[in-house]
Amino acid sequence: MAEKTYETPLCDELEKGPYPSFVTEIKKAAKKTSYAKGVLGLLELSYKEKIGHWKHGGIVGVMGYGGGVIGRYSDCPEKFPEVEHFHTMRINQPAGWFYTSEALRDLCDIWDEHGSGILNMHGSTGDIVFLGTKTAELEPTFADLVAKGWDLGGSGSDVRTPSCCCGMARCEWACYDTMQLCYDLTMHYQDELHRPAFPYKFKFKMAGCPNDCVASIARADLSIIGTWKDDIQMDEGAIAEYAKTLDIAADVISNCPTSCMEWDGKTLKIDNSNCSRCMHCINVMPKALKPGKERGAALLMGAKAPIVQGAQLSSMFVPFLEMKPPYEDLKDFIDAVFDVWGEEGKNRERVGEFIQRVGMGNFLEVIGLEPIPEMIAYPRDNPYIFFEADEEEEEE
């Protein structure tokens, strides 16, 4: 291919300033690949014309899979032949995003050989994202990835690549083993991840505690958020140490959302039966306070961004579940949800929207969960109740 270098005065403006520049990154890649040269030229045109220049291309993939490849074509290949094709590949990241230098170099070798040399570490869902290659390179890239022990992630109407916080690997607050569960579910649902058979996407995210560092409550169809049942663990000595530098009354007690804490200048008292497991006091005094010992996770479901029917946060389904391999209770719950939503959901209907449409009460009946007050912020405040005919009366 004729190597062309484009003038990019507008892109160059984005190399200025203290923060690391993506334009500098693209230029690094452009020393090696024509894709990167082309994408820089195309981006310059976008900055000039104030419009994107990529086209939908949902018809490419690798043999056997329906997920993992996002097809993309330039809308002006005559100007930028280098990026006539610019497909993305999603590669399932290791749980917790831990790498060795050797693994990183394997990935770079593969991408320098087959694609643009540009990637996202990581995409929004959590995958390693290889940005930009042509159709003919998809299978060879996939083969090289598999040879090195990597597989593609999800895209389309499938289980999206599960992701989790680093949990027990490096956090004292992890209430269950997020990385192990993430890996376990990823392997258990391989077919659902690679072969889209759902109405729309389904995301799993595992957060080790209610701080929710992976934003599971905002974006996962199933948010698995660590919590504990018993009393917050206290270290009296460490509390006394904190008291020397920290205004415990102002910084801790007055920020407690349920006012379940007391501090008389010497002793900290917690009414654990009223603690809502918000994490504030533990966040402020990590040496002195810890989640209790009876740990597990809450299952919340239904979060999504606005498309189609409006944004939702996940809401409570199971307040507490022990999280121990092989996670049979959890998998039974998930399978019950997949059965009803997978079969009855409409095209592009996330599980949260499905629940809105059929009614939470009906949904609970179908998946076999008892309604409990933990599931609601408050009971309904309208009298439009869909009473069902009393079965006994019907029989008479």
Partner 1 sequence: MAVTVEQLSDEMYEMVKRDMGVKKYKSMDLQKAMRKKYEDQGADRKMLKLAIRGLIDSGRCVYTYFGGSFIEIPHEEGAAMRLDKEE
Partner 2 sequence: MAEKTPTDIGPPHYEKFLPPVIKKNYGKWAYHEIPRPGVLKHTAEGGDVLWSVRMSTARLIATETVRWIADLAEKYCDGHVRWTSRNNVEFLTTEEKNVDPLIKDIQAGGYLVGGTGNSISNIVHTQGWVHCHSPATDASAIVKAVLDELADEFTSMKLPAKMRIALACCLNMCGAVHCSDIAILGIHRRVPEINHSDLPKVCEVPNLAASCPTAAIRPVKVDGKNSVEVLAESCMFCGNCYTVCPAMTLNDPEMDGVCIWVGGKVSNARSEPAFSKLAIPYLPNNPPRWPEVVEAVKNIVEVWKKDARKYERVGEWINRIGWPRFFEKTGIEFTKYHIDDFRYAGLSFKRTAQQRF
Residues 186, 189, 195, 197: what is their CA dihedral angle, to the nearest 10 degrees? -130
- Near partner 2 by CB under 8 A, which window of 183-191, 327-335, 368-376, 386-394? 183-191
Work out how close the CB of 331 gets to partner 1 at its nearest, in angstroms, rounded to a whole number.
15
Q: Note whether 262 binds partner 1 by CB under 8 A.
A: no
Taking the C-alpha atoms of residue 219 and residue 71, their distance in angstroms, rounded to an integer, is 24
Strands of the sheet with 163-164, listed across from one edge: 163-164, 204-207, 222-228, 295-301, 315-321
Out of 99, 249, 329, 360, the residue judged to bind partner 2 by CB under 8 A: 99
| CA distance readout (Å), 283 to 131, 168, 278 | 37, 16, 9
Half-sphere exposure of 113 (CA within 13 A, CB side): 14
DSSP for residue 159: B
Binding partner at 104 among partner 2, partner 1, none, C-beta below 5 to 8 Å by kind: partner 2
Which residue, among 167, 86, 89, has the nearest Cα to 122 in the 3D structure? Answer: 89
- Near partner 1 by CB under 8 A, which window of 95-103, 105-113, 309-317, 339-347? 339-347
Between helices 351-358 and 328-344, what is the axis angle to 10°?
Answer: 70
Q: How many CB atoms lie within 10 A of CB 5?
A: 9
Which of the residues 254 through 313 are near partner 2 (CB under 8 A)? 255-257, 276-280, 283-284, 286-287, 303, 305-311, 313
Work out how close the CB of 244 gets to partner 2 at its nearest, in angstroms, rounded to a whole number.
15
Which of the residues 118 through 177 are near partner 1 (CB under 8 A)? 135, 155-158
Binding partner at 293 among partner 2, partner 1, none, C-beta below 5 to 8 Å by kind: none
Binding partner at 133 among partner 1, partner 2, none, C-beta below 5 to 8 Å by kind: none
Q: Note whether 247 binds partner 1 by CB under 8 A.
A: no
Out of 111, 327, 338, 363, the residue judged to bind partner 2 by CB under 8 A: 111
**Site residues (vs partner 1, CB under 8 A):** 55-61, 63-67, 70-71, 73, 75, 77, 84, 135, 155-158, 191, 195-200, 342-343, 347-348
